[in-house]
């Protein structure tokens, strides 16, 4: 089923093996208009298989958690392989070119995530990563600024298939914070409606969720991400991990506490995540995070990870470096104090 947004969906893909002269302009236009663009052509299938094998060992030794902070991996060789995968020079060069006119850099935390999938019995999964900022006046002002840049980079190590494996998005919903654009508000209502139906009329919800009508009305699309593709998306964008199809889902063993599915080994879902942003985006992020109870250590974790990278054998690209992180003055940069 195609929704009426499909003809407008011109999300840009940066193929590093065949970059056009104006790729940076097309990418930033896609990011601003749709909230997302893709980077492809970085990794071979052999390299992706090597990364998957490495992660199999790491997660097995760690007790199969949902996610791991890369800085907490004990084996330095494994840790450096994952850092290098995220900070591949081709990826960093592309991002550095696209965001060349702003103080954007790659940011902690650097994470590896395994088999994290939404499930129809536990909510439809649609969310914004900036959700915690919506209750804070200053953050809402930051989110509505055209100078705001903060997002997430996901390196997906499998195709998006009937087992899930990547990300579904509602293109353009990054823009509904701008005062002149209110047309995306129905997406919020429909997401609320689907959550309401799931809670108070689960039998009806199960019927409509199988028809995909909610996604149709939202304008949601399942991205056609392949193993090794990188997705760059705005924190303000409505998105979800692509769920398994209803036929597949009903036979999966699902952990509702960790939101993980037990998938066949060849369908295991691995994602490497990092963040990126400019000063305004980082300030808004930490106003929210440092207001959360028991979360005052996150800023120190950022600094520790940056310092660890700086002391490692990894060649740190200019897009990753941020002096205020490396010298510890980051806490004072935006007038944020420890809480």
Domains defined along the chain, listed by start: 6-333 (2.60.120.620)
Residue 1 has pLDDT above 50, yes or no: no
How far is Cα 62 from Cα 176, in angstroms, rounded to an integer? 40
Per-residue pLDDT reduced to its tens digit, 124-170: 577 889 988 988 999 989 998 989 999 999 999 999 999 999 999 98
* 43 compared with 209, residue with greater pLDDT: 43
Q: Token pair 């689960």 is at which residue? A: 202
* 238 within 8 A of 173, measured Cβ to Cβ: yes
pLDDT value of position 7:
38
Residue 182 has pLDDT above 60, yes or no: no
Cross-strand pairs, 182: none
pLDDT value of position 270:
97
Return the top range by mean pLDDT from 16-20, 206-210, 247-251, 279-283.
16-20
* Cα Rg of the chain (Å, integer): 20
* 34 within 8 A of 11, measured Cβ to Cβ: yes
pLDDT value of position 2:
38
Task: Give the mean model confidence (pLDDT) for residues 203-207.
Answer: 65
- pTM of the entire structure? 0.87
Task: Give the mean model confidence (pLDDT) for residues 166-191.
Answer: 67
Confidence of residue 82 (pLDDT cuts 50, 70, 90): very high
Upstream peptide bond of 41 is cis (omega within 30 degrees of 0): no
Confidence of residue 293 (pLDDT cuts 50, 70, 90): confident
């Amino acid at each position: 089923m195609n929704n009426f947004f499909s003809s407008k969906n011109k999300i840009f893909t940066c193929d590093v093996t065949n970059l056009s002269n104006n790729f940076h302009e097309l990418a930033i236009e896609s990011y601003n208009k749709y909230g997302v663009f893709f980077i492809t052509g970085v990794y071979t299938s052999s390299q992706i298989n090597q990364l998957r094998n490495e992660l199999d060992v790491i997660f097995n030794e760690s007790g199969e958690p949902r996610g791991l902070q890369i800085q907490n991996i004990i084996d330095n060789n494994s840790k450096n392989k994952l850092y290098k995968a995220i900070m591949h020079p081709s990826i960093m060069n592309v991002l550095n070119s696209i965001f060349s006119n702003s103080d954007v850099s790659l940011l902690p935390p650097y994470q590896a995530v395994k088999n994290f999938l939404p499930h129809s019995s536990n909510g439809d999964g649609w969310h914004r990563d900036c959700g915690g900022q919506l209750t804070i006046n200053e953050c809402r002002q930051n989110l509505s600024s055209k100078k705001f840049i903060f997002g997430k980079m996901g390196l997906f190590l499998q195709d998006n298939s009937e087992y899930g494996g990547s990300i579904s998005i509602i293109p353009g919903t990054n823009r509904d914070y701008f005062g002149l654009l209110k047309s995306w508000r129905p997406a919020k209502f429909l997401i609320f409606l689907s959550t309401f139906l799931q809670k108070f009329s689960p039998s009806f919800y199960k019927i409509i969720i199988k028809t995909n009508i909610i996604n149709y009305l939202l304008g949601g699309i399942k991205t056609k991400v392949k193993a090794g593709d990188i997705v760059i998306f705005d924190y303000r964008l409505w998105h979800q991990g692509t769920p398994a199809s209803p036929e597949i889902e009903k036979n999966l063993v699902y952990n509702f506490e960790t939101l993980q599915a037990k998938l066949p080994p060849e369908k295991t879902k691995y994602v490497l995540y990092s963040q990126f942003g400019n000063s305004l985006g980082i300030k808004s992020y930490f106003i929210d995070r440092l207001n959360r109870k028991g979360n005052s250590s996150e800023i120190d974790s950022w600094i520790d990870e940056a310092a660890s990278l700086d002391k490692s054998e990894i060649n740190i690209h200019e897009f990753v470096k941020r002096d205020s992180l490396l010298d510890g003055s980051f806490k004072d940069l935006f007038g944020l104090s420890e809480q």
